[in-house]
Amino acid sequence: MKITDNKFVAASYDLYVGGEDGQAPELMERATEKEPLTFIFGTGTMLESFESKLKNLQAGDSFDFVLPCDTAYGEYDEERVADLPKSIFEVDGKFDSENIAVDKIVPMMTTEGQRLDGIVLEITDEFVRMDFNHPLAGEDLHFVGKVLEVREATDEEMEQLMNSCAGCGHDCSEGQSSNGSCRGCGC
């Protein structure tokens, strides 16, 4: 069976970044045969450029491709780094130092209700500097892997996909509220 829309796919891979200027590429992520990447093809949960490279492959096929940053997570954008007032991170009048610390990823919401993850870069007396670029922005992504399984997605898998919030990582079986947040977990 070939990878096409609405097929369940399991794949193992190594993801490398860097390797410019004679430097060795860095292994950023690994999905193993025991803990593979699993997704339903063509449902918008994966990068379109990633899916285009896997389309029509079958179980047992190997792959080795590079996604240039402009087709992955884009160029690094300095304008996506923001200094936010430290006061917005207060709980009961005290700064939330347990959840807001350098190098922590913090889920935030725009005024339009869009969820963004930001990494804390710096904390001063007055502000928290956060980077809202994707952690792999500006990087070409080199995937080397193997398709482990391709099959029809089950009704249960499709239902779970429809009831999950894009990107929150939870099974949000209660669906989304009108502002796009999870009814089940609030994210």
**Are 177 and 149 members of one domain?**
no
Contacts of residue 69, defined as CB under 8 A and 6 or more positions apart, other chains included, come to 75, 136, 137, 138, 139, 140, 141
**Are 97 and 63 members of one domain?**
no
pLDDT of residue 130: 97
**Are 160 and 144 members of one domain?**
no
pLDDT of residue 23: 82
**Are 59 and 142 members of one domain?**
yes
**Are 140 and 187 members of one domain?**
no
**Are 144 and 122 members of one domain?**
no
**Are 127 and 147 members of one domain?**
no
Asked whether the beta carbons of 150 and 2 are under 8 A apart, the reply is yes
pLDDT of residue 160: 87
Is 44 inside any structural domain? yes
**Are 91 and 127 members of one domain?**
yes
Number of domains in the chain: 3
Q: At 113, which CATH number?
A: 2.40.10.330
In terms of residue numbers, what domain contains 185? 156-187
Continuous segment of H or E residues that includes residue 152: strand 141-152
Asked whether the beta carbons of 81 and 121 are under 8 A apart, the reply is yes
**Are 61 and 149 members of one domain?**
yes
Q: How would you write the pLDDT of the chain (187 residues) with one tens digit per residue?
A: 999 999 999 999 999 998 777 788 999 999 999 999 999 999 999 999 999 999 999 999 999 999 999 999 999 999 999 999 999 999 999 999 999 999 999 999 888 888 889 999 999 999 999 999 999 999 999 999 999 999 999 999 988 888 765 544 444 444 443 334 443 444 4
Is 61 inside any structural domain? yes
Is 98 inside any structural domain? yes
pLDDT of residue 165: 55
**DSSP secondary structure string, 43-55?**
SSSS-HHHHHHHT
Per-residue b/e over 121-138, b at no fewer than 16 CB within 10 Å? eebeeebbbbbbbbebbb
Is 126 inside any structural domain? yes
**Are 68 and 86 members of one domain?**
no
Q: At 141, which CATH number?
A: 3.10.50.40
Is 34 inside any structural domain? yes
Tell me how far apart the alpha carbons of residues 172 and 46 are, in angstroms, rounded to a whole number: 18
pLDDT of residue 164: 67
**DSSP secondary structure string, 79-128?**
GGEEEEEGGGGEETTEE-TTT--TT-EEEEE-TTS-EEEEEEEEE-SSEE
**Are 116 and 168 members of one domain?**
no
**Of 2, 5, 1, 3, the residue nearest 158 (C-alpha):** 5
**Of 121, 28, 93, 105, the residue nearest 67 (C-alpha):** 28
pLDDT of residue 111: 86
Is 1 inside any structural domain? no
Is 21 inside any structural domain? yes
**Are 94 and 67 members of one domain?**
no
